[in-house]
Every structure is written in C-alpha cells, then in structure tokens.
Amino acid sequence: MNSATVNGIGMTSPRTRDRLIQRLADRGIDDYKVLEVMRQTPRHLFVDEALAHRAYEDTALPIGFSQTLSQPYIVARMTQLLLAGGPLKKVLEVGTGSGYQTAVLAQLVEHVYSVERIKPLQLRAKKRLAGLKLYNALCKHSDGGLGWEREGPFDGILSAAAPKKVPAELLQQLASGGRLVMPVGDAGQQELVLVTREGSSFDCQVIEGVNFVPFLSGTVS
C-alpha cells in the first residue's frame, strides 16, 4: 500500500481526520493514546471505496452482509474502557467485521485474537490488516460465542455484536484481573457493559445505552 493510499486525500485527508478526533475529545474521550491511534488509522481503507469520503464522519457505515463498521465514538469508548485497567497483553475480539477496531486494538495491545462468523468479511479484514503490517492481530473464521480457547485466558475481551447475555465461554476465558467490554440485550434496548473479573468473582457495570448488530451463533461461509 503506498503512502497516498494510507494517508488519503480530500475527504480522507489529515485535516478531515483531525476534525473527527476533536469531536471524539469533545464527547469525552480523553485517553491520548486512543485518540492518537485513531488519528493515524486510515478508516477509509476499511469501507467500500464509494463510502471512503464518509469515513471520517462520526457515524457507523455499512460493510455488506447486513453488518456495519462501528461509529468512531463507540470504537474509542470501548477501547478506552478496555485499556483503563492498564496495559494489555492478549485481547480477544468478537466480530472482526471490517477489521477497523482490530487495527486500532493492534496498535495499543500486544496481541489481538479476532474472530468473525462471516467468511468473506473475515478474509477482507485479514487482507487489510496485513496491508497495514499489523502482524500482531490474528484472525479466525469462527463463532465467537466459543471464544478462542487455545489462546486464552485473555486480559481483555471486546465484542461488537450484542448477545442477550454475556456468553459463559467468554467469561471463562477472561483472565483474573481482566476486563470484558460488550453490548448486551435485545435490539432497541441494549446496554454497553464492562465486566471485570477477580478470581471467581465477576463485577458487571452498565456504561450506556447502545445500538449494535445482534450476536449470532454458527458461521457463514
């Protein structure tokens, strides 16, 4: 990928990105590292070319298969919550989607393990991450409800799809001292929750009302 592609021009230019970062800061995102990584990450490469001019608006964008690339504010909020307990070594992400959140995480933690149930999305995301040389993000086509047992336990778990309640497998794969951030609940009444684990005790904190795609079981090839 050449630098013009990565840096962008016109509606994907540095000035356009700066405006988005200012908006995130105005909305209360105050983790400097998260803001800087989001300023540097070329979100326009994670959507269809026809939508690239909207990539630095604070809005969710369609990525096909009835799925969406999350709104930048939500990506920033979830990332900031996940990192608030200190540096993270291993993070499990459920719902790779476009790979944008994966790319943001890969620049802030040691290793990202990301799973996606829709094969064509998973393959596209994998290519984009390789194009950006983010080799510390491993991607897998599988049902995230099962976690990624072989690589666990994880000190961070993040999901961009909302189950009715946090899957037991994910709680099991959360390390003691670890943090899990995900939306839960039915469409129209989802809440973003932060679960922290200490030994066998789990504390669940409700952060805010949100609107995510549903967490579905099984895979699509």
Reported in sequence order, the residue ranges of 56-108 that DSSP labels E, i.e. its strands, are 61-64, 67-69, 90-94
> How many contiguous H segments (helices) and E segments (strands) does the chain have?
7, 11
14 vs 179: CA distance, rounded Å: 33
- In the set 3, 13, 66, 70, the catalytic residue is 70
Residue 211 C-beta: closest distance to ligand SAH, Å: 11
Q: Which is nearer to ligand SAH, 42 or 145 (CB)?
A: 145
73 vs 28: CA distance, rounded Å: 9
Q: Which is nearer to ligand SAH, 62 or 177 (CB)?
A: 62
Site residues, ligand SAH (CB under 6 A): 63, 67-70, 94-95, 97-98, 100-101, 115-118, 121, 143-145, 160-161, 213, 215-217
Residue 116 C-beta: closest distance to ligand SAH, Å: 5
Q: Which is nearer to ligand SAH, 136 or 176 (CB)?
A: 136
What contacts 164, CB < 8 A, 6 or more positions away?
A: 184, 185, 186
Residue 140 C-beta: closest distance to ligand SAH, Å: 9
Q: How many CB atoms lie within 10 A of CB 162?
A: 22
Q: Which is nearer to ligand SAH, 121 or 192 (CB)?
A: 121
The answer to whether 84 touches 180, Cβ cutoff 8 Å, is no
What token pair was written down for 54?
Answer: 């909207």
Residue 197 C-beta: closest distance to ligand SAH, Å: 21
206 vs 192: CA distance, rounded Å: 6
| Catalytic residue list contains 114 | no
Active centre residues (catalytic): 70
